[in-house]
Amino acid sequence: MMQIQPKLTSVETSIFSIMSALAQKHNAINLSQGFPNFKSDPVLIQAVTKAMNSGKNQYAPMPGVFALRESISKKFEGLYNTSYHPETEITVTAGATQAIFTIISTFVKPGDEVIIFKPAYDCYQPAIELNGGKTISIPLKAPDYLIDWQAVAKNITSQTKLIIINTPHNPSGTVMSEKDMLKLQALTDNTDIIILSDEVYEHIIFDGEIHQSVCRFPKLKERSFITASFGKTFHNTGWKIGYCCAPKPLMEAFRNVHQFNVFSVNHPTQVALAEYLKTPDHYTGLSEFYQEKRDYFLKLIRHSRFKFTPSKGTYFQVLDFSEITEKSDIAFAKHLTIEEGIASIPLSVFNDQNRDDKVLRFCFAKTEETLQKAAEILNAI
């Protein structure tokens, strides 16, 4: 028989797949996977249909439709008072995850070290390991999940190729501050370290906070990729379309790999988004929209036995169940799904050695009716 030796040997089925399957099997309210259960703007749907009917159904240009890259460039000018050239510094991707995988594949070689912060989104480490890199994980401690910059400094070596940051942060719902960015800028100045800044929730940030994109900081911008997601922004995660931005030399290297990965991305959707982005209201009102949902959800469960600090960004809320049960977060998440009818995500799966802070992540990108039903269950526990 063949001796099959895959490059990834320790990866189990994604917790998202496990919890969603359990939710479906037991007819539970699914607040585990991060997707809205309400519709996208009909104007955007119609724009995609129009693009299809007008014949935009063949391969798009490899870096993306120029009109869309131009719209993205104007968005950065309007929001962050900085610019990325649409011709050479912006590439449309098949979602942010593809962009992240391609960035890592472009630069990480065997023996290179990549610093990530855990709990971390689950696509980072497998991509590092597939490319022969070594993951250096720095813990974010509950309940604040703040970065220990002294620990970062101690872990930077001559082998450090990449540092991955994520703000607003999934799964904890925290955000990086201006002070954090200045610390990162100082630590990486006069080095060859590349920054991968996962900013897919850039438009979902609460309580008057300002999104501290790496592009706001000139010394960071010159060494950084930004990855972003239209799916998260416009309530259509199934379209799998996003983009990344970086200075020209970094983007040239990225495109050398991108062209042999997916080459190009869904054409009619790009055409539609290029037109849709001309109206900034489509994304500038998202923080208020989701903050209302966060506040509504937390008001409904304020008398429950769960403890919480309101999420500062993303459409996720972490709930502490330490006063309810001594079960592990994985066991309790499965119990809630099977016995109580509500699905969540245990944060230990995003930590090293399954560190268990007794917290679960719930997605509140749902209709009020769904959030009401979820709250009734949580309040009864």
CA distances from 312 to 72, 198, 205 (A): 25, 16, 6
Higher pLDDT, 16 or 21: 21
pLDDT of residue 31: 97
Q: Which of 173, 202, 204, 200 is nearest to 360 (CA)?
A: 173
Q: Which of 302, 299, 333, 296 is nearest to 315 (CA)?
A: 296
pLDDT of residue 16: 84
**pLDDT, averaged across the chain:** 96
pLDDT of residue 352: 84
pLDDT of residue 264: 95
Q: Rounded to the nearest 5 degrees, what angle is found at the Cα of 201, between the Cα atoms of 373 and 84?
A: 160
In the predicted model, is pLDDT for residue 183 greater than 90? yes
CATH classification of 42-279, choosing from 3.40.120.10, 3.40.640.10, 3.30.1330.40, 2.60.40.420? Answer: 3.40.640.10
| The residue to which tokens 């709990």 are assigned | 119
pTM of the model: 0.96
Q: Which CATH superfamily is domain 15-40+284-379 in?
A: Aspartate Aminotransferase, domain 1 (3.90.1150.10)
Q: What is the DSSP letter of 307?
A: B
d(CA 353, CA 362): 22
Q: Kindly give the residue spans of alpha helices, DSSP state H, lying in 28-175.
A: 42-53, 66-80, 95-107, 124-130, 149-155
Tens of pLDDT, residues 269-285: 999 999 999 999 999 99
CATH 3.40.640.10 boundaries in the chain: 42-279
pLDDT of residue 11: 67
Contact 266, 342 (CB under 8 A): no
Banded pLDDT at 4 (limits 50, 70, 90)? confident
Burial class (CB in 10 A: 0-12, 13-18, 19+), 2: exposed
CATH 3.90.1150.10 boundaries in the chain: 15-40+284-379
pLDDT of residue 25: 95
Tens of pLDDT, residues 302-312: 999 999 999 99
Contact 62, 255 (CB under 8 A): yes
Contact 179, 144 (CB under 8 A): no
In the predicted model, is pLDDT for residue 173 greater than 70? yes
Task: Report the amino acid identity of residue 172.
Answer: S
Q: Which residues contact 291 (CB under 8 A, 6 or more apart)?
A: 206, 207
In the predicted model, is pLDDT for residue 88 greater than 90? yes
Contact 290, 85 (CB under 8 A): no
d(CA 317, CA 191): 36
Burial class (CB in 10 A: 0-12, 13-18, 19+), 309: middle
In the predicted model, is pLDDT for residue 9 greater than 80? no
3-state secondary structure 226-263: EEEEHHHHHCCHHHCCEEEECCHHHHHHHHHHHCCCCC
For residues 360, 209, 240, 131, the Cα torsion angle rounded to the nearest 10 degrees is -70
**For the residues 149-170, what does the mean pLDDT come to?**
98
Banded pLDDT at 63 (limits 50, 70, 90)? very high
pLDDT of residue 344: 97
Q: How many CB atoms lie within 10 A of CB 177?
A: 15
**For the residues 295-324, what does the mean pLDDT come to?**
98
pLDDT of residue 100: 98
- Kindly provide the residue ranges of all beta strands, DSSP E only, lying in the chain, ordered along the sequence: 29-30, 90-93, 113-118, 134-139, 160-166, 194-198, 224-229, 242-245, 316-320, 342-343, 345-346, 359-363
Tens of pLDDT, residues 200-246: 999 999 999 999 999 999 999 999 999 999 999 999 999 999 999 99
Q: Which residues contact 144 (CB under 8 A, 6 or more apart)?
A: 174, 309
Contact 98, 263 (CB under 8 A): no
d(CA 320, CA 309): 9
In the predicted model, is pLDDT for residue 317 greater than 70? yes
Higher pLDDT, 85 or 12: 85
Tens of pLDDT, residues 98-139: 999 999 999 999 999 999 999 999 999 999 999 999 999 999
In the predicted model, is pLDDT for residue 59 greater than 90? yes
